[in-house]
Chains A and B, each alone.
Chain A
């Protein structure tokens, strides 16, 4: 599709957790690619495997979990096959991650400057003064006022939104080609979330950094991302360009998810809801995992459908996709 090679290409990624109760296929055959300077929205509910996908790319899957198959091509190299040493060289340098809770990512007993300078020196041979300069500039870039004084502060002296800005600044220190953001604005207030989203948009546009934005919030993805992949029970059920997927969802799950958003419904009327709840990944029934909650399910759904191109540029994993003309809003 693209003339230039994508920054990241994930092919048939499988991350399984080998627990005592059985094998949990948290990510089971996920493929997608992210182009240069593009934002890819990875959407799903709790337990859909969206976070584990992110952790797999940056090599932070802890035992009993491990990557059981597939490849993660980043600038031509397969991350799934790198040694721990080689991975450490990339992590925080060429690929960075931003987590949901900034209080958990920052060390509470170290000042911000200590943490930022340490990160700079981990990958670059520069003097401490240059490292401090870089830290200062990055803090300014993410919109922290008077960065010189704020460098000397401890994490608890920042508000939630400011702490998340610091976490973003740390991710940006080495001008990574790829940032994986795992629900970074979920814990923030709306006005602060708006500020962070605006900042991120600006950064991606100016630096050409690619981004994977993991979230459960379709409204955030609608405004921020270029492409979207919807995950359910460890698999991608639908992907495509954001506008097309949201305007005309093909998969019944995407359809139901969009229908559940209150602003998509008439005020006071019952929301269109998806019945039931997400199945346990420990013993998924054979066939389509969404079958038991799907209004369109039939005999044919007993065999697992493949992710197929249903409309030009539009892939979905369903035998009964919504091909009718979209409903008038």
Chain B
């Protein structure tokens, strides 16, 4: 558990701004109530992932979990804050070193239909990146691709086929083979099993667990499905509207959740063990991240909200060993 941190996010913020166009600026000059819209997709998030860990990142639509995943994978730069990989600031790295570092984090996407180029053969989808990055020479190409495909549970005789000739589950395996082909040690899975049928989902989850053992991988597993996250993760991070509201090991989050949002989220999940019972209800909608409520973002939906929650942003702090939560009620 106390391995060195592989990834450290310090006060990571990502804002998306919609700048006013020319007409908008004129309208503003003339006194029209138009202004630039800013979405705080991720708002000062701190997160540490240790070597060999599986960290589950949970939240509903618009909570910023995918944006966070993209920043970790290096697809999207953060607006503010630092990302440390093996203790080194990735912004300070240059040239070949930066490229190497980037390769070591790979991402697996939700939609196995949209994330594969339909006009490329599987052998090129899997083999292109390692070839470009000089990980293998021409002669070894075929054997290398075969090995990658076999490891992901695909028959290498299909390597000259195109993505549309595969089913959803197989396509997800192609995505996995592609990600692993550049020998990463950290994988970001963004809703990687959300689009699959239950029986196929189980196959892919088992594959993730096997690969973790075989290749000593570390995962950031992003999902809205609490059942999947509970099964797979060592530690769980819950986000709501761009902020982390609770963080603890899996056991604690599911047994003794602290934050009211975590509790209502757990109550809302339909479980196969529950028969014919009244579904409990969290009131209200998820607010828009363009105009989030002041204070604690969850206060309009929280059954326990007080005056303080409406004004003051709660800090994420330790409430029990290894459990951190951002709720004012812990002060009482």
Contacts and interface: CB of A to CB of B under 8 A. Distances in A.
Interface in A260-315: 260-265, 267-268, 270-275, 277-278
A270 B282 CA distance: 33
A114 interface: no
A261 B60 contact: no
Contacts of B278: 198, 201
Contact of B202 (A192, A217, A226, A273): A273
A223 B198 contact: no
Interface centre among B201, B203, B276 (most CB of A within 10 A): B276
B139 to A, nearest CB: 35
A263 B205 CA distance: 13
Contacts of A260: 198-199, 201-202
A195 B267 CA distance: 11
B268 interface: yes
A222 B270 contact: yes
Nearest to A259: B202
B199 A274 contact: yes
Given A260-B201, A274-B199, A190 B60 contact: yes
Contacts, number: 143
Contact of B231 (A194, A201, A218, A265): A265
Contacts of A217: 198, 270
A268 B228 CA distance: 10
B61 interface: yes
Contacts of B274: 219, 222-223
A141 interface: no
Q: By CB atoms of chain B within 10 A, which of A217, A243, A267, A278 has the most?
A: A267
A189 interface: yes
B167 interface: yes
Interface residues of B, number: 46
Contact of B271 (A263, A268, A278): A263
A263 B227 contact: yes
A46 B195 CA distance: 11
B250 A267 contact: yes
Given A190-B226, A201-B278, A260-B199, A219 B231 contact: no
A201 B274 CA distance: 14
B313 to A, nearest CB: 22
Contacts of B210: 270
A219 B197 contact: no
Interface in B217-243: 224-228, 230-232
A220 B270 contact: yes
A201 B279 contact: yes
Contacts of A103: none
A14 interface: no
5 nearest A-B pairs in the assembled complex, by CB-CB distance:
A194-B268, A260-B202, A262-B231, A189-B60, A45-B197
25 contacts: A45-B197, A45-B199, A189-B60, A190-B224, A194-B269, A194-B279, A194-B280, A216-B197, A217-B198, A219-B269, A219-B272, A222-B271, A222-B272, A257-B198, A261-B227, A263-B272, A268-B209, A268-B232, A270-B206, A271-B202, A272-B202, A274-B199, A274-B203, A277-B200, A278-B197
